[in-house]
């Protein structure tokens, strides 16, 4: 009998031991997997128990959580959602995007910076409240960018910066979407809405301002000009440069013509004239003369090739790998392997405007606790020195001439001195070009730098930087300067 009891006791101890092992395995090893499991409805309801903080642009609340008093306690709502979609993103049943993702812990109140606030809410039996995020976005500039880009074409992006601080005043990408459709607390409806957007050939979920890169065309001649000015401080706007009608490309049987086969002068022109008329051959030759390493070094001084967060992740721009001189000639006019985000090209314009200093771009101005205390406040930060103040002054003068009497006259603002550069970038064979413009205003004391990108085919087969993108930039710059 005693032997039987012992065996039963041992069996019970073994089973209790296995139970304890299993409990610890579930709580420690499998806890995260179980918490993230789509079938875990407790987690689903927990996502809506906290009152997420507001997202604010200017004096406008563009995202907030509304108390429903029901099982789904707080629902996320977006005002003018299509206007701000690619900045704020969305808060969905199982994921976040945009600022909603980048500042999620502050918005939902779980950040360590809000531990005291959480303790107070727990003691008073109130829902946890998150911090408010105040953006740098200027609602007037954002709307001007959205409306004018929509008129110019269906696909593209606009970025406007304060060149002295790096604050992003506008960031628009088209086509857009309504984040409210992805914020409803219903997994089935959200999945259906998301899948429809994801399958759309026009890619409305893609933030064209920062998430992918494109050939910048002749706007990149600003970088090539900066490289020349940095290499030789005796060079200026009136320096004469070679401008053949067709430039032979080394190692090939073809030549590089100017846009539309134009003569672009009589073989020798001033550097300012070459930029005004966006001649291809002078800048292609300058790039080859400087060489790949110096062109790469100049690009790096603008921040090109460096990873960047604003706090949204930004695709890395690049001039491509070292190839032959023919490839370098094409890269020097913004073709071949050169690929830029619109944000990066806005940074190029901002650096010229800001005496050669590149400021780190940012979207979040302040983070404010539910009690009104400032938890974070962004201080402007220098990213790099693209060129000397003297070189920047010369380049500004030339870009002002581009708008005054060159390819960018459509960017002119009455009573304001505007500087800029157009770009019409070839894409694949027989595909319409991209249309670009970068610029700043007022040139004497720049308050805004802007990049406008209209994607291939969005504005028709004959889209150009001067005719399509420059008018959009004018509207955005005017909106900022009216404040």
- Domains along the chain with CATH numbers: 217-364+380-481 (3.40.710.10)
Q: Which two tokens stand for residue 430?
A: 């027989």
CA 57, 100, 128 angle in degrees (round to 5)?
Answer: 100
φ, ψ at 146 (rounded to 5°)? -65, -50
Going residue by residue through the chain, which has 483 residues, state the pLDDT in tens, using 9 for 90 and above. 566 777 777 767 767 766 666 656 656 665 555 555 555 455 666 788 889 999 999 989 999 999 888 888 899 999 999 999 999 999 999 889 999 999 999 998 988 877 776 676 666 667 778 999 999 999 999 999 999 999 887 799 999 999 999 999 999 999 999 999 999 999 999 999 999 999 999 999 999 999 999 999 999 999 999 999 999 999 999 999 999 999 999 988 888 888 766 678 778 999 999 999 999 999 999 999 999 999 999 999 999 999 999 999 999 999 999 999 999 999 999 999 999 999 999 999 999 999 999 999 999 999 999 988 899 999 999 999 999 999 999 999 999 999 999 999 999 999 999 999 999 988 766 778 899 999 999 999 999 999 999 998 666 667 788 999 999 999 999 999 986
φ, ψ at 139 (rounded to 5°)? -55, -35
Residue 262 neighbours by CB under 8 Å, 6+ apart: 245, 277, 279
pLDDT for residue 24: 63
pLDDT for residue 40: 47
Q: Give the pTM.
A: 0.88
pLDDT for residue 21: 62
**Would you name the residues annotated as active-site residues?**
218
CA 314, 316, 320 angle in degrees (round to 5)?
Answer: 165
Distances (CA, A) of 31 to 28, 36, 196, 212: 5, 9, 33, 36
Can the peptide bond before residue 442 be classed as cis, meaning omega within 30 degrees of 0? yes
pLDDT for residue 16: 76
Q: How many C-beta atoms surround the C-beta of residue 290 within 10 A?
A: 20
Distances (CA, A) of 99 to 67, 102, 309, 311: 21, 5, 11, 8
* 185-227 tens-digit pLDDT: 999 999 999 999 999 999 999 999 999 999 999 999 999 999 9
Residue 260 neighbours by CB under 8 Å, 6+ apart: none
Residue 126 buriedness (CB in 10 A; 0-12 / 13-18 / 19+): exposed
* 375-412 tens-digit pLDDT: 999 999 999 999 999 999 999 999 999 999 999 999 99
User: Is 61 strand, coil or helix?
Assistant: strand
Strand partners of residue 228: none
pLDDT for residue 432: 83
């Amino acid at each position: 009998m005693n032997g039987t009891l012992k065996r039963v006791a041992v069996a019970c101890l073994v089973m209790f031991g296995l139970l304890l092992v299993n409990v610890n395995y579930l709580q420690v090893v499998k806890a995260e997997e179980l918490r993230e499991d789509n079938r875990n409805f407790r987690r689903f309801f927990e996502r809506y128990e906290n009152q997420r903080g507001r997202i604010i642009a200017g004096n406008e609340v563009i995202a907030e959580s509304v108390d429903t008093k029901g099982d789904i306690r707080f629902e996320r709502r977006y005002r003018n959602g299509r206007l701000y979609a690619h900045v704020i993103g969305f808060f969905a049943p199982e994921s976040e995007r945009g600022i909603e993702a980048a500042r999620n812990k502050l918005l939902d109140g779980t950040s360590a910076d809000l531990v005291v606030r959480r303790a107070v809410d727990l003691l008073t039996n109130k829902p946890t409240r998150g911090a408010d995020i105040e953006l740098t976005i200027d609602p007037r500039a954002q709307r001007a960018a959205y409306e004018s880009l929509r008129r110019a074409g269906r696909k593209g992006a606009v970025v406007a910066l304060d060149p002295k601080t790096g604050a992003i005043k506008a960031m628009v990408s088209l086509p857009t979407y309504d984040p409210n459709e992805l914020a409803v607390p219903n997994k089935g409806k959200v999945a259906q809405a998301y899948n429809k957007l994801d399958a759309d050939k026009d890619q409305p979920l893609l933030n064209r301002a920062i998430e992918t890169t494109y050939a910048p065309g002749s706007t990149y001649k600003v970088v090539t000009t900066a490289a020349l000015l940095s290499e030789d401080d005796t060079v200026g706007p009136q320096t004469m440069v070679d401008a053949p009608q067709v430039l032979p490309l080394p190692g090939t049987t073809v030549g590089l013509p100017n846009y539309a086969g134009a003569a672009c002068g009589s073989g020798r022109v001033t550097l300012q004239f070459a930029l005004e008329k966006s001649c291809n051959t002078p800048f292609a030759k300058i790039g080859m003369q400087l060489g790949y390493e110096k062109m790469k070094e100049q690009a790096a001084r603008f921040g090109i090739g460096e990873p960047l967060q604003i706090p949204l992740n930004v695709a890395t721009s690049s001039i491509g790998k070292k190839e032959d001189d023919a490839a370098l000639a094409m890269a020097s006019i913004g073709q071949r392997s050169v690929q830029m985000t619109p944000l990066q090209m806005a940074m190029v314009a901002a650096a010229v405007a800001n005496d050669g200093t590149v400021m780190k771009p940012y979207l979040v101005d302040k983070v404010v606790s539910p009690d009104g205390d400032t938890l974070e406040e962004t201080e402007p930060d220098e990213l790099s020195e693209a060129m000397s103040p003297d070189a920047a002054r010369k380049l500004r003068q030339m870009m002002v001439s581009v708008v005054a009497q060159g390819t960018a006259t459509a960017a002119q603002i009455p009573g304001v001195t505007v500087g800029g550069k157009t770009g019409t970038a070839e894409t694949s064979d027989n595909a319409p070009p991209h249309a670009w413009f970068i610029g700043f205003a007022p040139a004497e004391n720049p308050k805004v730098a802007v990049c406008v990108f209209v994607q291939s085919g969005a504005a028709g087969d004959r889209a150009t930087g001067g005719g399509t993108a420059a008018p959009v930039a004018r509207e955005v710059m005017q909106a900022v300067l009216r404040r």
